Structure 1
Amino acid sequence: MSEIKYVRGDATVPSVKGVKVIAHVCNDIGGWGKGFVLALSRRWPEPEAAFRAWHRHRASNDFGLGAVQFVQVDPYVWVANMVGQRGIRTGSEGVPVRYEAIDSALEKVADKAAELGASVHLPRIGCGLAGGKWSQVEPLIVERLVKRGIAVTVHDHGEGRS
C-alpha cells in the first residue's frame, strides 16, 4: 500500500501528469472568502461560482455536511468542494470541522478519482480555519483514498499554514 506524499507548494498547481482532483473543505453556510478557497478563486472562477449556486439552491439539491460538488476547471483538473465544516466560527459546539462529514465526502472523492483514474491533491483539509487536527484527518484520507490505491499528495503551502 502506498502512503500519502507530502510536498511543499501550492495545491492548485499539482506537478504530476494525468487527471487530478483538488479536494478542499467548505462550510455549510455558503461562505467562500478565507483560506485555501482564495487560492482556488485566483486560479479559476468556476469552483466559487458553482459552490455559491449549489448553496443558493440547496433546497432542491444535496448541499449539506458530507456532500461533494465536482467542478471541472481544465480538461485534466477537477475541484472537489467538500462540505466538511459547520459554520465558520468556534463556538459552543467547538471548532467548525466535522470529521464525519469529511470522512463521508472523502468516500465520494475516492469514487470520483477511481472513475477518472485521477490522483488527489489537497491542503491539510479541515486543519486551517476549520480548526481540526491533522492527526484526526490523516487517517480518514488513508482509509478512504490510500487504501483504495489512489495517489494522494498533501501540499503544504509556505510558512504559517498547516
Structure 2
Amino acid sequence: MKEIHYLKGDATNPQSEGNMIIIHICNDIGGWGKGFVLAISKRWKQPEKDYREWFKSGKRFDLGEIQMVQVEKGIWVCNMIGQYKIITNSNGIPPIRYEAVEKCLEKLSLEALKLNAEVHMPRIGCGLAGGKWDVIEPIIEKILVRNNIEVYVYDFE
C-alpha cells in the first residue's frame, strides 16, 4: 500500500526519479500572484501562462477542474481549481472548497495512473486558501493513496 511521505524541502524541486506531477490549488477568478504559484513561476513560466490562457478562454474554467502542464521531461504541473475567489467571506468561510479539491484529485488520479507518476505537493489548500490539513489529508488518502499513487508532501524550510 502506498502512503503519504512527508519531506522537508521545496515541492518545485521534487526529490525523486521517474514521472512526477506537482500539484497545487488555484482560484476560480484567474488570479495568480501569491503563495506557492510564485515558486512555480520562478522555476517554469508555462503553468502560469497556460492558467491565464485557460481563464481567458472561459472553457471549463470551474471549481473541480484541472489543467496538466508539462514543464520538463517527466515533470508536469497540475493547476487544480479548488478555491472559490480569494477572500474569506463575511460568514468566515475560507476560499478553499473541499468538494472541488476532491473532484480535482479524482481527475488527477486518472492522469497520474496513465503517466505512472508520483504526486508531489506542498500542503495544498492550507496557505492562502485557508484550508485545514486534517481535512485535506484524508481526501488525499482516500483518492490518491487508495489508488496506489505515491504521494510526497513538502514542508518548506
- Which band: TM-score by shorter chain? over 0.9
Alignment RMSD:
0.7
User: 1:113 & 1:123 partners in 2: Cα distance?
Assistant: 17
User: 2:67 & 2:48 partners in 1: Cα distance?
Assistant: 11
Residue of structure 2 equivalent to 1:128: 127
User: 1:73 & 1:43 partners in 2: Cα distance?
Assistant: 9
TM-score (norm 1): 0.95
Instruction: Flag structure 2 segments of 5+ consecutive residues without an equivalent.
Output: none
- Name the SS of the counterpart of 2:7 in structure 1: strand
Residue of structure 2 equivalent to 1:14: 14
TM-score (norm 2): 0.98
Residue 108 of structure 1 aligns to which amino acid in structure 2? Answer: K
Instruction: Flag structure 1 segments of 5+ consecutive residues without an equivalent.
Output: none
| Residues 25-44 of structure 1, C-alpha deviations (whole Å, 9 max, x = no match) | 00000000000000000000
User: 1:144 & 1:33 partners in 2: Cα distance?
Assistant: 28
- Name the SS of the counterpart of 2:25 in structure 1: strand
Q: CA deviation at 1:2?
A: 2.3
Q: CA deviation at 1:92?
A: 2.4
| Residues 78-106 of structure 1, C-alpha deviations (whole Å, 9 max, x = no match) | 00000000011111251000000000000
Residue of structure 2 equivalent to 1:100: 99
User: 2:90 & 2:63 partners in 1: Cα distance?
Assistant: 18
Identity between Structure 1 and Structure 2 (%): 53
User: 2:102 & 2:8 partners in 1: Cα distance?
Assistant: 24
Q: Aligned pair 1:112/2:117, yes or no?
A: no
Residue of structure 2 equivalent to 1:156: 155
- Name the SS of the counterpart of 2:86 in structure 1: coil
User: 1:70 & 1:3 partners in 2: Cα distance?
Assistant: 23
Residue 30 of structure 2 aligns to which amino acid in structure 1? Answer: G
Residue of structure 2 equivalent to 1:55: 55
- Name the SS of the counterpart of 2:61 in structure 1: coil
Q: CA deviation at 1:107?
A: 0.6
Q: CA deviation at 1:114?
A: 0.2
